[in-house]
């Protein structure tokens, strides 16, 4: 009777494309790869999130709606355990913004206030503009040249496959407002950190240095930054009227949302994959980070549907408030050290919607690296040296957690990153299925590894 039951189960699994429970881990990983590549369900998860919730800036009503959505979605996907973890943080909300060149000609400018920026007075600011080609040039400037003026930094971001051009200009968004404020500037405008030429500015957070003056800060769309540079090159005095309104609150509670597939032998040990649940307010957060949410949730679902669970528990974490201070990751990293030490591997999907091209990590054993190379060869993905843990996982890596970077092609990420162009139509079904296939095989093999 048991033999007949086994054969019936084997036939049923084969009809679904799954190997039987007695298959090797690499055979299970290959089945996960093929199933995800044929249609992982990740695309539909992103469609659900961006349609039913949409933009979900941290601390907003939509943020709370996204938490509830994630809890129900984890349950619907068949996760064994679903729970939330409270995260407390200050909130910032955009109310309104406008900018206009008033002299020597009149031009309305497309701007986006930087997250965390202070407001102007209700009547706004009217001041002349001084341009700097880089952050270094601003740092070298005399305070007398800057005082009372609107500082404009015009440095362009370079398009690169690995996205590293972003890190060349990121310090401008992070540090320029404090440097300009210390020199007496009235406000900061910067060329958007992006690679597209459309008239959609890119937001992102400003980091004020403690105990230094705080001035309003906003990003210009690329065409408007070009316009401002052309006006200034003519040698005339350029004056801008700027108005920014924001709302800031000292404390709010949101949540990390966590789903688990319980391990069969070592349930107290974890392999973590994750993304962040919040987004900026301009688009619907489809790529940043709806894509990562879809990939990691769908990968966990596929692993949970295998005829035999992996040895270790798979934990999928959707972090709260990454965009405005990594508060969910900080909260997760602050948990008991003994629990953190039981995490055997972690990976984060938060680098756009391009295909995965390599797995980089200093933490892969030779046997795990070999298994990954064999399982993912049909997708053109191989293990490699180097890598970075990712923005949220960086806080966990500093606690000693092993990590891997599932490196994506980021050539197009910064065309829509942090802008109104981050919408569902940018999600490529084949690319999200490929990502899910890699994440599912990676997480399963890590959870099975000796």
The residues annotated with a catalytic role in the active site are: 322
- Non-local CB neighbours of 311 within 8 Å, separated by 6+ positions: 263, 264, 265, 266, 447, 448
Beta strands in 265-377 (DSSP E): 266-276, 312-319, 343-348, 356-360
CA angle 354, 360, 365 (to 5 degrees): 140
In three state form, how does the secondary structure of 159-195 look? CCCCCCHHHHHHHHHHHHHHHHHHCCCCEEEEECCCC
The tokens 């004056």 sit on which residue?
239
For 17, 21, 247, 403, the CA distances from 12, given in Å and listed in that order, are 9, 12, 57, 36
Torsion sign over Cα 299, 56, 167, 112: positive
CB 352 within 8 Å of CB 407: no
Q: Is the peptide bond before 289 cis (omega within 30 degrees of 0)?
A: yes
Main-chain dihedrals φ then ψ at residue 224, nearest 5 degrees: -75, -35
Task: Return left, alpha or beta for 449; rule: phi > 0 is left, psi -120 to 50 is alpha, else beta.
Answer: beta
Length of the chain: 450
Burial class (CB in 10 A: 0-12, 13-18, 19+), 194: buried
Distance of alpha carbon 179 from alpha carbon 190, whole angstroms: 13
Distance of alpha carbon 232 from alpha carbon 214, whole angstroms: 25
Burial class (CB in 10 A: 0-12, 13-18, 19+), 274: buried
Distance of alpha carbon 360 from alpha carbon 408, whole angstroms: 11
Strand order in the sheet with 382-384: 382-384, 356-360, 405-408
3-class state of residue 211 by DSSP = coil
Q: Is the peptide bond before 104 cis (omega within 30 degrees of 0)?
A: yes
Distance of alpha carbon 70 from alpha carbon 318, whole angstroms: 8
């Amino acid at each position: 009777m048991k033999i007949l039951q086994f054969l019936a189960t084997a036939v049923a699994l084969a009809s679904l494309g799954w190997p039987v429970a007695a298959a090797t881990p690499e055979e299970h990983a290959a089945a996960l790869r093929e199933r995800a590549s044929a249609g992982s369900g990740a695309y539909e998860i992103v469609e659900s999130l961006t349609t039913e919730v949409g933009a979900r800036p941290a601390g907003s009503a939509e943020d709370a709606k996204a938490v509830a959505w994630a809890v129900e979605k984890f349950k619907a996907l068949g996760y064994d355990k679903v729970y939330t973890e409270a995260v407390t943080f200050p909130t910032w909300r955009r109310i309104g913004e406008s900018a206009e060149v008033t002299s020597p000609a009149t031009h309305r400018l497309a701007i986006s206030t930087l997250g965390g920026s202070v407001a102007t007075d209700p009547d706004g600011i009217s001041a002349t503009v001084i341009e700097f080609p880089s952050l270094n040039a601003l740092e070298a400037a005399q305070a007398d040249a800057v005082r009372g003026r609107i500082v404009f930094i015009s440095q362009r971001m370079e398009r690169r496959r690995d996205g590293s051009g972003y890190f060349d200009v990121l310090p401008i968004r992070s540090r320029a407002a404090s440097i300009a404020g210390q020199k007496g500037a009235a406000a900061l405008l910067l060329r958007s950190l992006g690679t597209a030429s459309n008239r959609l500015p890119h937001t992102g957070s400003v980091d004020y240095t403690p105990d230094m003056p705080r001035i309003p800060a906003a990003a210009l769309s690329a065409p408007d930054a070009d316009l401002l540079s052309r006006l200034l090159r003519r040698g005339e005095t350029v004056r801008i009227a700027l108005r920014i309104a924001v709302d800031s609150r000292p404390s709010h509670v949101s949540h990390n949302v966590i789903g688990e597939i319980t391990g069969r032998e070592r349930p107290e040990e974890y392999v973590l994959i994750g993304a962040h649940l919040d987004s900026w307010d301009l688009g619907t957060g489809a790529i940043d980070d709806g894509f990562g949410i879809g990939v990691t949730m769908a990968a966990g679902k596929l692993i949970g549907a295998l005829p035999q669970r992996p040895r270790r528990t798979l934990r999928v974490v959707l972090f709260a408030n990454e965009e405005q201070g990594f508060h969910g990751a900080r909260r997760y990293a602050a948990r008991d050290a003994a629990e953190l030490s039981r995490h055997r591997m972690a990976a984060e999907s938060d680098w756009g919607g391009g295909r995965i091209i390599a797995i980089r990590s200093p933490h892969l054993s030779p046997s795990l690296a070999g298994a990954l190379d064999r399982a993912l060869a049909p997708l053109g993905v191989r293990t490699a040296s180097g890598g970075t843990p990712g923005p949220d996982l960086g806080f966990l890596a500093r606690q000693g957690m092993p990590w891997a970077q599932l490196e994506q092609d980021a050539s197009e990420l910064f065309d829509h990153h942090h802008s109104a162009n981050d919408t569902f139509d940018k999600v490529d079904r084949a690319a999200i299925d490929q990502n899910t296939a890699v994440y599912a095989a990676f997480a399963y093999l890590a959870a099975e590894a000796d």
